[in-house]
């Protein structure tokens, strides 16, 4: 397809808008090899683009696709693509706004846990493609003098992230991403915080203990070990510094002690 003449040349903004809106007419000025207007060719091209975006979203968010079903997910993905065209030709990075879109999508208001499921899946993708880095050896902490240990800070591993939710997001992701929707009944009244990381080749999802989400997020923000422990203790009375720190180190959440 091409433009007939300079005065009829199709603007890129007009073209991109029409490309992602199935209700929009083909932009004026598009012609086929025969020199005639080519709305059918444009519609085929538009459908191929939208299908590719939907497939990319389905590969990134398979738990959401399982929870919603193929037809509903495709309709949701099309609605998302119309609002959020890709900013990069690399489609593995497409969908960073998807969780927020799901959270504000009125027809899904009765399923508020879906947005956090999407956040875990997006964090999984980020971890999978994150820069390689050797995790901190837990033994390094033993070399720190007891009188300064409360003031140490950690460097976060590039693959590490925490998703803290009011919902059982780890159970939902496991059941609908890894178990094919056959995970059995899930108590939606159980909040969960998930550590996502990749200390080696495989992405790991670990359920954090009470206060673990607050503890790790505070450390990731640059607070000292003592400050993070105090905040987590205040947030969750059952917080155990020894257990949460051990979980963090064994999961490869850090690369170094500052």
Instruction: Write the secondary structure of 128-183 as one string of H (helix), E (strand) and C (coil).
Output: HCCCCCCCCCHHHHHHCCCCCHHHCCEEECCCCEEEEECCCHHHHHHHHHHCCCCC
Same domain, 96 and 139: no
Best CA proximity match to 159, nearest among 251, 68, 84, 227? 251
pLDDT at 258: 87
- What domain range includes position 62? 1-111
Alpha carbons 7 and 190: distance in angstroms, whole number = 61
116 occurs within a structural domain: no
Residues 147, 93, single domain; the answer is no
pLDDT of residue 237: 80
Tell me the whole-structure pTM to 2 decimals: 0.83
Residues 88 and 189 in one domain: no
C-beta atoms surrounding 141 within 10 Å: 17
Both 147 and 186 in one domain: the answer is: yes
| Angstrom distance (rounded) from CA 209 to CA 218 | 15
Q: Is residue 167 assigned to a domain?
A: yes
What span, in angstroms and rounded, lies between the C-alpha atoms of 40 and 56?
A: 24
122 found inside a domain: no
Q: Please state the domain count of the chain.
A: 2
Give the tens place of pLDDT for each residue, 8-28: 444 555 555 655 555 555 555
Residue 124 lies in a domain: no
- Of 54, 76, 111, the residue that ends a domain is 111
Same domain, 140 and 86: no
Question: Cα(111)–Cα(239) distance, rounded to whole angstroms?
Answer: 29
64 shares its domain with 159: no
Helix (H, G, I), strand (E, B) or coil at 71: helix
The segments of the chain whose pLDDT lies below 50 read 1-10, 37-38, 45
Any domain includes 66: yes
pLDDT of 144: 93
Same domain, 139 and 250: yes
Does residue 144 share a domain with residue 235?
yes
Per-residue pLDDT at 221: 96
Is the domain of 146 the same as that of 245? Answer: yes
Question: Would you state the pLDDT for residue 8?
Answer: 40
């Amino acid at each position: 397809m091409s433009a007939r003449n300079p005065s009829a040349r199709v603007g890129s903004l007009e073209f991109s808008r029409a490309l992602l809106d199935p209700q929009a007419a083909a932009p004026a000025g598009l012609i086929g090899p025969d020199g005639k207007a080519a709305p059918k060719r444009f519609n085929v091209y538009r459908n191929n683009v939208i299908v590719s975006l939907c497939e990319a979203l389905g590969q990134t968010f398979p738990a959401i696709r399982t929870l919603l079903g193929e037809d509903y997910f495709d309709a949701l993905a099309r609605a998302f693509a119309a609002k959020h065209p890709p900013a990069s030709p690399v489609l593995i990075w497409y969908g960073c706004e998807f969780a927020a879109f799901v959270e504000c999508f009125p027809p899904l208001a009765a399923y508020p846990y879906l947005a956090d499921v999407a956040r875990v899946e997006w964090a999984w993708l980020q971890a999978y493609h994150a820069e390689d880095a050797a995790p901190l050896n837990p033994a390094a902490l033993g070399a720190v003098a007891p009188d300064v240990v409360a003031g140490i800070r950690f460097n976060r591993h590039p693959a590490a992230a925490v998703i803290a939710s009011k919902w059982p997001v780890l159970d939902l992701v496991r059941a609908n991403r890894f178990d094919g929707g056959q995970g059995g009944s899930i108590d939606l009244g159980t909040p969960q915080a998930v550590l996502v990381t990749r200390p080696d080749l495989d992405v790991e999802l670990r359920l954090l203990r009470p206060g673990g989400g607050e503890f790790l997020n505070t450390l990731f923000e640059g607070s000292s070990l003592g400050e993070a422990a105090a905040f987590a203790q205040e947030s969750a009375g059952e917080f155990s510094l020894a257990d949460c720190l051990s979980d963090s180190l064994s999961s490869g959440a850090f690369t170094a002690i500052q």
